[in-house]
Structure 1
Amino acid sequence: MDKLRAEYQSLETQKKELTATYKNCEIEVRNLKRKQENLNQYLGRTQTDPVQEQQTKNKNHSL
């Protein structure tokens, strides 16, 4: 039982670390997309990517 508890605790710790890493990556991707949009506007590239539009719509609906 102790061995299983120790393994479970180890897996829980790993899960927390992976979740934190994933959330940080999501934030970084959002920030990079915002920077890309700003650069595109600055460069006069106002055409948006249909996939990106759909993701934005989905994200806004989930809020």
Structure 2
Amino acid sequence: MGKNIGNLISIQTSKLIRDGEMTLGEASIIDRTLQEDQNFKDELSSRSTAEAIEIIRTKIAELLTSIREK
């Protein structure tokens, strides 16, 4: 069975909340944004799990920076 991209996204946002690196509100926005981005999820589906996690972490960091700059 293949990796579930949605679960990988949720796990990464949950870890950042737990570690105090983002708020629940920020995580909610980021999680929803990434879950709804089918192109992003399709791109990740062809990657290894390790690669997908790194790409997700990078995208989360970009979105978090964008949210905090507003």
> Structure 2 length as normaliser, TM-score?
0.33
Max Rg structure: 1
> Structure 1 length as normaliser, TM-score?
0.36
Higher relative contact order (CA 8 A, sep 6+): 2
Task: Select the structure that is richer in helix.
Answer: 1
